[in-house]
Chain A
Amino acid sequence: MKNLLLASTIAALTTASAAIADITILAWPGGDPEKALREVVTLYNDTQGKEDGSKADVIYFSRQGFKEKMLTDAAAGSTEFDLMLTATYDIGRYAPFMLPIDDLIDDETYKVFPPNAIETQKFEGSVYGIPNDLSLHFLYYREDYIGQLLSDPAWIERYQEISEKHLGQRLSPKAPEEWNWDDYIATAFFFTRSINADSPTRYGTVLQLKNLLFNMMLWQATVASHGGDWQDGDGNITIDSDAFRRGLAIYKTIVDNKATPGDSSSYEYGEANSAFGSGQVAFMIQWNAAVPELNDPEQNPEVAGKFALTHQPAGPEGIKTHFHSLGLGLSAASENKDDARKFLRWLGTSVEANTMYAQLGGSPPVVDAIMSKVADKRPDLPMMGEHAGSYGFVMNGGTSEHALRLYEIIAENFTGYWAGELSEDEAISNVEEEMRKAFAG
């Protein structure tokens, strides 16, 4: 009898596992988006997955070296995951190991994602991913301090003195929405205690200057707002330009005047958050993903509820923000392509899934109708849509197969310049040369 029961159980389990094909999703780890995606996957398994006869699971590598690990696995033809992470700036690199999913994109998809969001997941005309997180930059500023700067005559007078002394022009404080880059620098100086002993903060701003490609994405709005680009319309490299020199100078002025922490050269996302979260920094340009974390009173009691968001300062060519999307695409080595495609179709067309994802901390670049549903809980989301539409830019060549490599070269040379290791001319010439080589093939 025991043997019979055991055999029946094994048979039942075998049948069940044959009926439910598993798909594995390799996704970007950490923070609220990770928790949100886990919930979305659970929702799929409880609803559409049952209809599809498919069960999804999600796995994560650590953030450190994530892309390298995924690249190695993908190039080796790993079947450990069926769906993999895509990002606007490196789809070209991973495209040889993925399959396009154009046939999954139709009017139903556009009811959830606007066409420009789908565009961020395209490479050479083909769609490779369903976007599930939009990334761009906000100017985070302390409302209390900026409010006082705009209203306190003594502060206004001091601000004018500082701007005249350090920038050679007597500027008056403005609301952050009206800033240009000179206002940004002058305000950074005003809130730096080594320049203004009465400053309530130790530093005006915090720059992320670690030799890391993502830090260059943060910086390059300075260039774009001055009309700079990697290449012109004819494919000529245009790094050696006034726009790039001005962009470099904006950061260099802040670094040299110590208006950013002295160890900023080792800073990236986390360090900038901890500096701003300590209450010792008046404003910073940071990724949108930091909003929930900085507004959490348990994690950041010094700043939660005390800061506001706006766009980055304007240049002669207007306001700009780098933007890209992360998404999920189909691995060419997947052994469960049909099930993986079913999941992607569901993710790309489900209002419920994307609403849930946004409510739980993800930042899907969805249509306004869905954004408005979660605006109460996530006021930053509609702002993101507006900023991406109005100010978003991607450098010419910034989605090519060379993009990642070029960002690395830019990071190495320009962080070297800000740290005093290279001259401006050396840094620009090195980047130009490498970029020319890359685009020449």
Chain B
Amino acid sequence: MSYHASKHKEGMLLLSGLCVFMAFMLGYPAVANIWYSLSNISFSDIHTSEFVGLVNFENQLFSPKMWKAMGFSLQFGLICAALEVVLALLLVFTLHPILSRRPWLTAFLMLPMMVSPALMGVMYRLMLNEFAGVVPLYFEMFGVYVNFLGPENIYTTVIVIEVLQWTPFALLILLAARQAVSPDIEEAANMDGAKPLQLIRFIFLPAMLPAIVIVAFIRFIDSFRVFDHIFVLTGGGPGSKTTSISIYIYKLFFNQNAIGEAVAVSLILLFMSLILFVMAAKLIFRSE
């Protein structure tokens, strides 16, 4: 047996464990989900589902409610990702001198993202309540009355909560990217007379671009599939005003008992995510 053939065999052997693991942990659920998406299935007949072809996909692809939820998630994801990245960049450039001398301070900035999103929802449900909440109380002290959870403000409120919780994540990645920029380059640019804004524009931002794209992508995906804090705060309402695609799928699955259609939407979502992933990967490799 040649050296290459032997190495190939070893490689296959070493990979086999991972493949078996993936087949059980991802492959089986994936196949089961594809079957469910092609079946008429509910909780009462979960073991005796009936094959219906693409009917579930057809129903959902032509459902205005599904597209409304998809639109909400898309808009929510884009706004949150953009705000988080911009805020994180501002924080990185402002706080970098302090954080590089006292890195332990970073831990404090990470606290919001350590709280579970559902708990965050409960927390804000209390904090923003007109009668029991501390935030409306402070606003009232200045003669300002705002209904943070009222229909007119609820969209902004859920975005602000998401941004407050997850900007630290973007900050963490972007701070690492900023710290990875060689001090020699920074020093050389300074010697050439570069001003702070020029340093950011021509040195740091281009060097940090792959990290920015990755963070924006991760945050978009994460915000796109938002569920917990919105569900706790509004239940997707009033009406369907804050129904994200995840809440839509959840309600379809559990409340409407339309398991096949819920899984079909999940697969549509998976397919869309794959497209996004390929696009983001291309962007990253191109910028590198």
**Complex contact A419–B238 (CB within 8 A):** yes
From residue 234 to 265 of chain B, which have CB atoms closer than 8 A to chain A? Answer: 234-241, 251, 254-257
Cα A416 to Cα B65 in complex, Å, equals 13
**Complex contact A274–B147 (CB within 8 A):** no
- CB of B221 closer than 8 Å to a CB of A: no
User: Which one, A26-34, A263-271, A348-356, A391-399, is touching chain B?
Assistant: A263-271
Residue from the list A71, A211, A277 in contact with B237, Cβ < 8 A: A211
- CB of A321 closer than 8 Å to a CB of B: no
Mark each residue of chain B from 145 to 157: 1 if its CB lies under 8 Å from any CB of chain A, else 0.
0011111001000
**CB within 8 Å for A263 and B257 given contacts A211-B235, A417-B239:** no
Mark each residue of chain B from 222 to 244: 1 if its CB lies under 8 Å from any CB of chain A, else 0.
00000000001111111111000
- CB of B106 closer than 8 Å to a CB of A: no
Mark each residue of chain B from 33 to 56: 1 if its CB lies under 8 Å from any CB of chain A, else 0.
000000000011010000000000
**Complex contact A422–B239 (CB within 8 A):** yes
**Complex contact B237–A419 (CB within 8 A):** yes
Q: Which residues of A contact B46 (CB under 8 A)?
A: 75
**Complex contact B148–A212 (CB within 8 A):** no
Q: Which residues of A contact B43 (CB under 8 A)?
A: 71, 75, 93, 96
Q: Is the interface of A mostly helix, strand, loop or mixed?
A: helix
Residue from the list B130, B232, B238 in contact with A415, Cβ < 8 A: B238
**Complex contact B151–A275 (CB within 8 A):** no
**Complex contact B131–A278 (CB within 8 A):** yes
Residue from the list B125, B128, B129, B239 in contact with A421, Cβ < 8 A: B239
Min C-beta distance of A427 to chain B, whole Å: 8
**CB within 8 Å for A274 and B131 given contacts A262-B150, A405-B256:** yes
Min C-beta distance of B91 to chain A, whole Å: 30
**Complex contact A419–B131 (CB within 8 A):** no
**Complex contact A210–B235 (CB within 8 A):** yes
Min C-beta distance of B155 to chain A, whole Å: 11
- CB of B199 closer than 8 Å to a CB of A: no
Cα A64 to Cα B119 in complex, Å, equals 12
Cα A265 to Cα B235 in complex, Å, equals 10
**Complex contact A274–B132 (CB within 8 A):** yes
Cα A275 to Cα B131 in complex, Å, equals 6
Min C-beta distance of A294 to chain B, whole Å: 14
**Complex contact B237–A416 (CB within 8 A):** yes
From residue 68 to 98 of chain A, which have CB atoms closer than 8 A to chain B? Answer: 68, 71, 75, 93, 96
**Complex contact B151–A420 (CB within 8 A):** yes
24 contacts between A and B (CB under 8 A): A67-B254, A209-B238, A210-B235, A211-B237, A211-B240, A262-B130, A263-B147, A263-B148, A263-B150, A264-B150, A266-B154, A266-B237, A271-B129, A274-B129, A274-B131, A278-B131, A405-B255, A405-B257, A413-B239, A415-B237, A415-B239, A419-B238, A420-B151, A422-B239
Residues of A bordering B, CB below 8 Å: 64, 67-68, 71, 75, 93, 96, 209-212, 261-266, 271, 274-275, 277-278, 280, 401, 404-405, 408, 411-413, 415-422
